[in-house]
Amino acid sequence: MSNSINADWHRDHVLGSNAPMADRIVWHQEHVQVCGCRPIPESVLKAIAEQEPKNGGSGGK
């Protein structure tokens, strides 16, 4: 990942400071694909990890 900023993307994708975590997750997952200005914050990475299934299965029998 380069350290360059995609100013056009940032202008068109403003994330409010009080955005819910679900919105932050979506924003940061897209952001990391189109902009090299910074990595996903630890708090968002933790929230993503907490959403992933613990056993890797679909919950079926």
Domain ranges of the chain: 7-51
Q: What is the pLDDT of residue 60?
A: 53
Query: 54, 20 in Cβ contact below 8 A?
Result: no
The sign one gets for the Cα dihedral 20, 21, 27, 28 is: positive
Question: In terms of C-beta density within 10 A (0-12 exposed, 13-18 middle, 19 or more buried), how is residue 28 classed?
Answer: buried
Quick one: pLDDT band at residue 52, thresholds 50, 70, 90? confident
Tell me the per-residue pLDDT of 2-40, one tens digit each, with 9 for 90 and over.
578 999 999 999 999 999 999 999 999 999 999 989 999
Q: What is the pLDDT of residue 53?
A: 76
Q: Is the pLDDT of residue 43 over 70?
A: yes
Query: 29, 40 in Cβ contact below 8 A?
Result: yes
Q: What is the pLDDT of residue 58?
A: 57
* pTM of the predicted structure, to 2 decimals: 0.78
